[in-house]
Structure 1
Amino acid sequence: MRIRELLDELGLFLLVDQDAGDSALDREVRAVLTTDLADPGRFLAGGELVLTGLAWWREDGDAESFVRILDRAGVTVLAAGEAEHGLVPDDLVHACRRHGLPLVAVKPDISFSSITEHVLRRLQPRHVGGLAAVVERHRRLLTGQGGPEAVLELLQHSLGLDAHVLSPTGRQIAGAHPPLRARTAVALAGRYLAARRSGEAAPHGVTIGDRHYSLVPVRGTTDASTPSAATEEADELGDWLLVVAADTSDRPAADGELLGRSNWPSTRDPRTSGRRWR
């Protein structure tokens, strides 16, 4: 997918490189990442459309470091949402011009999720090399010390999905912000437990209001020191659950594998069981 197609098909407004000629608009988009990290460098492999809500930007001067990181990583285009500040700050526009990074504005009525889904549909089927890169990022994150947040950022980067990890009682362990409403989280946890007890195969689909969610079991490694009775109780409750704010039933098999095989810190590890990750 090229930048010009992104503009034509999604109605986005080009702020930087509008006078650079056809070469800039013909740059290829090979992946999509949504982030509000001030330094998203570890999740960039080059060729991305980066979507940001600008929560990291507070004053003039903040944009230079962010844009430099994107430029060095080989990002194709930056899309900045106007909802946070009412417009795209001039500081970001000037930084993108200095580094030659194409910049587009996203109006408040255009959701990042709709952009992500559109781009991912255009990029399917994924190339073997791209999937290999996802697997390698997965391996690196899971051998590090990132915890649940790192795995969720991987899922968002690789699949374009907002996700939350909930306890069986509906308490949010980690995930996208804003967190799920308490009533919604409890309802999802209840649906998950009911599906497990009935032997229903995951992912478990559920619709609340006008939103569809897919529920996937999260399995942590069992601590050998955990008493067997406590282990049986945790198994009955189902450990944590991964809540994906989308219908994953029609996703490619590789996506389902990445969702189902994500490894997590032990849900019964005394060092993590009481920690609030967000």
Structure 2
Amino acid sequence: MLSLQALVDDPALELRVLEAGEPGALEARALWLHNTELPDPSTYVREGEIVLTNGLWLAEATPAEFVANVCRAGAAGMVFGLREQTPRTPAELIEACREAGLPLLEISIRVPFTAVTEAAAAIYTEQRQGALVGLVRRGNALAAAISHGAGASGVLSVLRREHELPLAVVDRMARQLAAAGVDLTADQLRLAAEGLARRPPPLEIDLGEAGRASMFLVSAVGDIDAALLCLRPITELSRAEQDALEQTARFLSLEVAKQQAVQAIEQRYASELLDMILSGPQRAAEVPDRLRAFGVDPDGALAVCTLAFADGETLPGIAEAVTDFFLDNSTAVVVAAGSQDVVAVLPWRQPADELPELAGRLRDAVRKRFPGHRPVVGLGEPAASAADLRRPLVQSREACQVLRRRQGGRPDSDVATIGQLITYRLLLGLHDAETLTGFVNRVLGPLRAHDQRHSGELEHTLRVFLEYDAQFGATAAALFVHVNTLRNRLAKVAELTGLDVARTVDRVDLFLALEADAMRQSG
């Protein structure tokens, strides 16, 4: 590194320190050299440059004035070159540098300034060569870590051999892919993901108690998919550290792309498993092999847990939080994330009454990961084997939906088995898709045919009427129609379907048909 001390250490330059300046000034990084004889060189001297001068300005400015101008430019120090006319450095110049805290060196009359420039160029060349060698060596180590399957953690360990920095890799789904020297909280992961979502992403983000972190972007599949976070502000990182972080981020792109591909395949396989289970006998033969692929024994008893947030918000990283919980408990599991919930299928050898205790611990783990949100867990009855999974899957999802709809639930009521929450949706869910489709078509088919021919709104009117608990006035107001118009439409519904909304039994059939249709579309 170019500095005043590095020049002093070169005996060929015959430099002598007259004033050391502020503590550490001699060792501070210098930008370059600037040779000047102007009385006021402040306009041309860049901050961090070393000023070389023979003192030809002494006829036009005092040493104090010249030093003040040099300091105003932010120079790193001064080298005064002796000559026959000035065989000694003026005492006034030494005193002015002492008062200003500016380092002052004296160079022998036998050594020209060009020798100082050549020495500085040699220092820069050696430094650049060292940096390039380090870049190649680090690149080889990073490539080896990836090719040997060390993962993102292995990539970070390569970087930390040279620079002991607190590091983490976070993707835009708020997942911590790797960390070294730091363990981010759920809130900090969320802040990092929010930073990644900004366009353009910032160079630094505020992580609350952890302070400001530098962000080095990782592009996996043509977009910014993750970031290498260094929990230090960019201003506290040396140029060498920044270069190393940028190089590591480029190698992480390969690892992040691989991880995302694996996760996408796993999620697709897990989601397909749910489709197989819900399809009933048609795809039942495929379920055991799919369970085995995730390490779950299809021949033993199985349990199904469904988790969602009561506030209805779908947060990134929920599936990972559920997976981590079961892995921490050494339990093989299939975790499938949907648009509204996360389903976990796992082996279950314990008594059924112990399942709520496990679900409670799952709820607590997710709540800790996502503070400020209320997770709820629905449970189905354990299945004897893979062939019996459809019933507990429907039960657990229905129980979860009921828990989500509850307002102001206590923590001890955020976990429930379907036996505690019998609802009409459970009864509908126990039927296969073909049966439900036939029921919906028989009840709603005539209404839809009429609406299509006449651009009518009979089905919508019926839906709103039932949502407003069969109150004519409230329904008419919501539809912006007269009550008589509403009555005429409901009379037409009765004519087409043979079901009269004035009769409780008929109204139940209409309501169930609408709900069954909604379940088919969402399922």
Q: TM-score range by the shorter chain?
A: 0.3 to 0.5
Higher relative CO (Cα under 8 Å, sequence separation at least 6) belongs to 1
Taking structure 1 as the reference length, the TM-score comes to: 0.41
Larger radius of gyration: 2
Structure with bigger helix share is: 2
